Amino acid sequence: MIQNVNKLEMKYMVMKYTNGRAQTMKLCEIKDILKAEVLCGDEFLENEVSYAFGSDLMSDVLAYVKGRTILLTGLINSQVIRTAEMADLTAIVFVRGKRPENDIVNLAKQNNMILFTTKDSMYTASGKLFCNGLEGINLD
C-alpha cells in the first residue's frame, strides 16, 4: 500500500517537474483530449495554459486562480464569464455537455475568450487533463 502511494506520488512529481516547471498545454490539445466542441474563440486554439481549476463556486475562482489557467465548470450563467473576465481567465470548459445561451457566448467573445463544451463530467474531464500532464493551481 505504502509502495503504491509512493509510486503514485513519484509519478506525479515526475510529471510536475519535467523540465523543472509545470508543463503547459495548448488549447487545441485540450480540445482533443476532452473531445470538446469550441463555442467561440477558435482563433485562440494555439494559445497555451499552465494550470486548470475546476469549480462551480465563483468566489473560489476569484480567490485562488492566477496566471494562465483554464476553468472547468458546470455553471453556464453570465457570472461565469464576468468572473473569468475579472480574474484574467480566457479559456473555459463547460462540462456535462452544458451550453450557455447566445448572449453569454457573445459576452465571452467581447472579452476575447475561448469557450468549450465537453460531454465529460467534471471529474472525468479533470482526470483526463491531469493524466496528460496539466496540473492544478498552487493553493497558498
Q: Which stretch binds another protein (CB under 8 A): 9-17, 18-26, 52-60, 116-124?
A: 52-60
CA-to-CA separations, 102 to 81, 89, 111, 131, in angstroms, rounded: 12, 20, 14, 32
Backbone angles phi, psi at 130, to 5 degrees: -60, -45
Q: What residue has cell string 500532464?
A: 133
Q: Are 38 and 31 in contact (CB under 8 A)?
A: yes
* Residue 29 lies near another protein (rule: CB under 8 A): no
Q: Are 72 and 140 in contact (CB under 8 A)?
A: no
Within 18-113, where are the H helices?
Answer: 27-33, 58-64, 78-86, 102-110
* Residue 63 lies near another protein (rule: CB under 8 A): yes
* Residue 99 lies near another protein (rule: CB under 8 A): no
d(CA 10, CA 108): 39
Q: Which stretch binds another protein (CB under 8 A): 36-44, 50-58, 92-100, 112-120?
A: 50-58
Smaller CB distance to another protein: residue 42 or 85? Answer: 85
Site string for another protein, 71-90 (x = CB under 8 A): --x-x-xxxx-xx-xxxx--
* Residue 57 lies near another protein (rule: CB under 8 A): yes
Total of residues contacting another protein (CB under 8 A): 19
Give residues in contact with another protein (CB under 8 A). Answer: 56-60, 62-63, 73, 75, 77-80, 82-83, 85-88
